[in-house]
Amino acid sequence: MDIESSARSAMWNASRSGSDRRPFTRATLTRIAAFARPLRTSLVVFLIASVITAVLAVVSPLLAGQVVDAIVARSAPPVVLGLAGFIALIALGEAAFGLLQRWLSSRIGEDLILALRTSVYDHVQKMPIAFFTRTRTGALVSRLNNDVIGAQRAFSNTLSTVVGNVVTLVLTLIVMLGISWQVTLVTLVFMPVFLLPARFMGARLARLSREAADHNATMATQMTERFSAPGATLIKLFGRPREESAAFYARAARVRDIGVRIAVVQQVFVTALTLVSALALAVVYGMGGVIAADGGLEAGAVVSLALLLTRLYAPLTALASARVEVMTALVSFERVFEVLDLEPLVAEKPVTTPIPDGGVSVEFDRVRFAYPSADKISLASLEEVAVLDTRGGVEVLHDVSFRVAPGQMIALVGSSGAGKSTIAQLVPRLYDVDEGTVRLSSVDVRDLSAEDIRRSVGLVTQDGHLFHESIRANLLLARPEATDAEVWEALQRSRLTDLVRELPDGLDTIVGERGYRLSGGERQRLTIARVLLARPQVVILDEATAHLDSTSEAAVQAALAEALVGRTSIVIAHRLSTIRQADQILVIEEGRVVERGTHEELLTAEGRYTQLYRTQFAPAAS
């Protein structure tokens, strides 16, 4: 590594030291070692290659000095050519071991990234839905990208820098002292002057870098929100594109100005170090030349000292910033471990009970439930708040009990916020109950495997979410092994066959972010097709037609009728026709079942259902 690149590395790492520096524990190092253990063979080979590369870097200047001595002594050509050949071989060796070192460094780093990212990704998937409703997606993605890469540097850049530079520094000093201790000690006087600019300039660069990072983060947030279909629509509807552009330009211009200042500061830093190095080199040539002229040194020794000096200051600069690099890497590890330390609230037991063969019933037995508080499921840094809300969760379901026999349909009605959607989310075990039991075919869902639950229960929500992938990919999410014939059958039953056949790419048509290239009714029917393809024995419809126009709603209702045939179903509905078909209707208010019965029975009772019917359902039927 030359002086200029070492200087830039020192500047960069000094700029990151500031607020990122924080204490770490032995437990952190132990966990890092656990991730590194599978890479131990590669690490050992990497360290050996680093040492060999450092040794070769010191040998080359010595041979160069011997060449000069041979020339001065008018040695025979074979001697000079032999030394030149050794220099060439050492250069080839340096290149070979350098490539090996770089390959190992990259492989170790990328393997570590793979292990960390996979661990975080798998762990996050186990978190409850409440975690995702509180967390900023960008902050979570940052843990998988920036922090994981920051942790990787500990095993690639930092490790090679520390090991290689320590060996190079020690060997260089030993050899230089052996050649001329007087010249070596004089050159070391420049060492404090060489390192001071890193401290001085680094603090200034840190402030600029943090400010640039803040502006970049703000720009990224603005782009993420405004470039989504709903965000772009909102901006157009309120006619503020000029104001948005002006705000973005102001931040981007500030980042530009900071970039110029950072470049100037870096160049001043590099120039200062280069100047100090040149002064030290002048001392070597001056003092060494005088000693050589008096016969105290050979001419080749002076050349060797000068070349070795260039190999001395680069490691000094790199090692000066090594502590900052290590601390930064440890902080990155800790930020990754913060996510891994969040305990999933829903965990599968080591030994599970299978669902009995036959139709599947659903039973709630004295269920009580409160959504978890923020301190149990989230991190302040992921929510961009100073302190998490530690208040306990408020109970939203109180002593809820009911049973849906195999093949029966139950309808849930009630005011908004009464707890209907919460009941729907407890069946597929998106959350665990606080008290009581949710059972599928008399088996507690906590005793079932996640695979059994997903295979048995299908949920259709009102937002009809789709991924930015093809129609085929969105459908096969439910059952990856399904054939094209089965896919087309599901589309036919959800009244989508004609639409998909008319699309230019058919099943391979990309639906866009959240499916926005399709209409609301088409998106919803596609989610129903996905459930039909999955063939669950229990279907839950959470107001699946709540936001549709009359035409789309009619098409979706026809598709829903197909989805419910022969299946146990729980329907949260606002249409009278659906409610009338239900075998039983539960009226939910403030987290309690306040009434239950058939449509006719509840109307006769003249209770809460009758009020809802007259205000909500009767107008829809007229």
Assess whether pLDDT exceeds 50 at residue 312. yes
Amino acid code (one letter) for 585: I
Q: What is the pLDDT of residue 23?
A: 44
Q: Running DSSP on this structure, what letter comes out for residue 470?
A: B
Assess whether pLDDT exceeds 60 at residue 421. yes
Both tokens of 119, joined, read 């661990």
Residue with the larger pLDDT of the pair 321 and 93: 93
Q: What is the pLDDT of residue 22?
A: 46
Reported as a pLDDT band with limits 50, 70 and 90, residue 517 is confident
Reported as a pLDDT band with limits 50, 70 and 90, residue 437 is very high
Q: What is the pLDDT of residue 7?
A: 44
Owner of token pair 């661990």: 119
N- to C-terminal Cα distance for the chain?
82
Q: What is the pLDDT of residue 178?
A: 79
Domains and CATH numbers, the chain: 3-11+29-340 (1.20.1560.10), 395-621 (3.40.50.300)
Q: What is the pLDDT of residue 83?
A: 79
* 499-513 average pLDDT score: 85
Nearest Cα to Cα of residue 298 among 569, 68, 604, 555: 68
Q: How many CA atoms lie within 13 A of 85 on its CB side?
A: 6
Give pLDDT tens digits for 69-80: 777 777 777 877
Q: What is the pLDDT of residue 17?
A: 41
Assess whether pLDDT exceeds 90 at residue 592. yes
Q: What is the pLDDT of residue 619?
A: 52
Cα 194 from Cα 599, distance rounded (Å): 87
Helix axes 3-15, 241-293, angle to 10 degrees: 140
CA dihedral (49, 53, 55, 59) positive or negative: positive
Q: Which residues contact 495 (CB under 8 A, 6 or more apart)?
A: 525, 555, 558, 559
Count CB-CB contacts under 10 A for residue 200: 12
Assess whether pLDDT exceeds 90 at residue 138. no
* 519-523 average pLDDT score: 79
Q: What angle do CA 119, 125, 128 make, to 5 degrees?
A: 130
In angstroms, the Cα distances linking 616 to 96, 600, 602, 609, 619 are: 78, 16, 15, 10, 6
Assess whether pLDDT exceeds 50 at residue 19. no
Reported as a pLDDT band with limits 50, 70 and 90, residue 12 is very low
User: Among 104-118, 313-327, 402-416, 564-578, which range has the highest average pLDDT?
Assistant: 402-416
Mean of per-residue pLDDT scores for the chain: 78
Cα 588 from Cα 594, distance rounded (Å): 6
Q: What is the pLDDT of residue 596?
A: 92
* 583-592 average pLDDT score: 92
* 231-245 average pLDDT score: 71
* 275-282 average pLDDT score: 75
Assess whether pLDDT exceeds 50 at residue 21. no
Amino acid code (one letter) for 107: R
Enter the pTM of the model: 0.67
Cβ–Cβ < 8 Å for 147, 335 = yes
Residue with the larger pLDDT of the pair 235 and 526: 526
Count CB-CB contacts under 10 A for residue 596: 16
Give pLDDT tens digits for 146-165: 777 777 666 666 666 677 77
Nearest Cα to Cα of residue 162 among 72, 80, 24, 47: 47
CA dihedral (498, 501, 507, 510) positive or negative: negative
Cβ–Cβ < 8 Å for 183, 291 = yes
Share of the chain above pLDDT 90, in %: 10
Owner of token pair 């979706």: 556
Q: Which of 100-114, 259-273, 359-373, 486-500 has the lowest mean pLDDT?
A: 259-273
Assess whether pLDDT exceeds 70 at residue 411. yes
Residue with the larger pLDDT of the pair 147 and 429: 429
Share of the chain above pLDDT 70, in %: 77
Q: What is the pLDDT of residue 234?
A: 67
Q: What is the pLDDT of residue 256?
A: 86
Both tokens of 334, joined, read 């800790």
Both tokens of 242, joined, read 């000029």
Reported as a pLDDT band with limits 50, 70 and 90, residue 400 is very high
Assess whether pLDDT exceeds 70 at residue 547. no
For 43-50, the CB contacts below 8 A with 24+ separation are 43/108, 43/155, 43/159, 45/100, 45/104, 46/101, 46/104, 46/105, 46/108, 46/159, 46/160, 47/159, 47/163, 49/97, 49/100, 49/101, 49/104, 50/101, 50/160, 50/163, 50/164, 50/167
Reported as a pLDDT band with limits 50, 70 and 90, residue 6 is very low
Residue with the larger pLDDT of the pair 209 and 510: 510
Cα 45 from Cα 41, distance rounded (Å): 6
Q: What is the pLDDT of residue 410?
A: 92
Cα 35 from Cα 540, distance rounded (Å): 42
CA 424 from centre of chain: 30
In angstroms, the Cα distances linking 476 to 454, 501, 511 are: 14, 18, 14
CA dihedral (576, 578, 580, 583) positive or negative: negative
Cβ–Cβ < 8 Å for 364, 401 = yes
DSSP 264-324: HHHHHHHHHHHHHHHHHHHHHHHHHHHHHHTTSS-HHHHHHHHHHHHHHHHHHHHHHTHHH
Assess whether pLDDT exceeds 90 at residue 362. yes
Mark residue 495 as left, alpha or beta (left: phi above 0; alpha: psi -120 to 50; beta: remaining). Answer: left
Give pLDDT tens digits for 348-361: 888 999 998 888 99
